């Protein structure tokens, strides 16, 4: 897919995996809308990239803010790419050590961000993409969602996180089937242990221990590797309806 003259939107695009993807899309010639809650980081990145980069302040759990962000992206050219990177995690067991149950509000909070937020932008972006003329390869657009290896190897304390990311995986094939009629592809990346700002806060011994648990290479994943895979998905017109693990072969232990 030639991104020259096209627009793209990246949720959570101001940091971590989203920032790396924003930079790659911008470098490929797309007008990139950085959709993020962090206005300071988002505006700074858009200013640094210059040109066709722009920032849309939005909370992905708020449908109207997502609508505005997608409309902003589409105003900069036909929206061809949407990458959903916004998300977060919590560590809460099904029952706590004192046998009290998992807080339902905490569970819903994570579902709203990781699942509903992805659904919001995916469906809004698809609606915009459906009006595009097909590119030379026949595509009207590509949507890439972000799950996690926790969708398959959920650890102790990851009930809500695994549920939210497992649901993102579950949306992939039916969304691809729904959107096949309008030539829009949908794929999901399930990252493993990535060197994002969240893991950067851990003490070095903890980071080293996590890196050692990876099959090969024994290190944390690099955000640029996520961005590379996103670009490969965009470029490969036959890749559709798939969830791809990006994890160095790791299979997470119970804890």
Q: Which residues are catalytic?
A: 161
d(CA 144, CA 225): 15
Closest CA to 165 of 221, 106, 80, 87: 87
Q: Which helix (H) or strand (E) holds 7?
A: strand 7-11
The DSSP letter of residue 38 is -
Q: SS3 of 250, please?
A: coil
Token pair of 219 as six digits: 């290190």
Q: SS3 of 254, please?
A: coil
d(CA 134, CA 60): 28
């Amino acid at each position: 897919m030639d991104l020259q003259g096209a627009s793209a939107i990246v949720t959570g695009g101001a940091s971590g995996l989203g920032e790396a993807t924003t930079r790659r899309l911008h470098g490929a010639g797309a007008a990139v809308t950085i959709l993020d809650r962090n206005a300071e980081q988002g505006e700074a990145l858009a200013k640094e990239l210059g040109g066709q980069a722009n920032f849309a302040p939005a909370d992905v759990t708020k449908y109207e803010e997502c609508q505005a962000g997608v409309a902003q992206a589409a105003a900069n050219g036909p929206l061809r790419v949407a990458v959903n990177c916004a998300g977060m995690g919590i560590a809460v067991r099904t029952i706590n050590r004192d046998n009290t149950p998992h807080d339902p509000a905490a569970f819903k909070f994570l579902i709203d961000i990781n699942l509903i937020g992805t659904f919001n932008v995916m469906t809004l972006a698809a609606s915009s993409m459906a009006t595009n003329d097909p590119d030379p390869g026949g595509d009207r657009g590509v949507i890439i969602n972000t799950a996690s290896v926790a969708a398959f190897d959920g650890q102790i304390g990851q009930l809500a996180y695994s549920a939210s990311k497992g649901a993102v995986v579950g949306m992939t094939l039916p969304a691809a089937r729904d959107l096949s009629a309008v030539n829009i592809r949908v794929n999901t990346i399930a990252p493993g242990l990535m060197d994002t700002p969240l893991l950067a806060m851990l003490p070095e011994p903890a980071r080293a221990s996590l890196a050692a648990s990876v099959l090969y290479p024994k290190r944390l994943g690099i955000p640029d590797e996520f961005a590379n895979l996103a670009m490969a998905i965009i470029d490969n017109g036959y890749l559709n309806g798939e969830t791809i693990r990006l994890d160095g072969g790791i299979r997470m232990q119970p804890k």
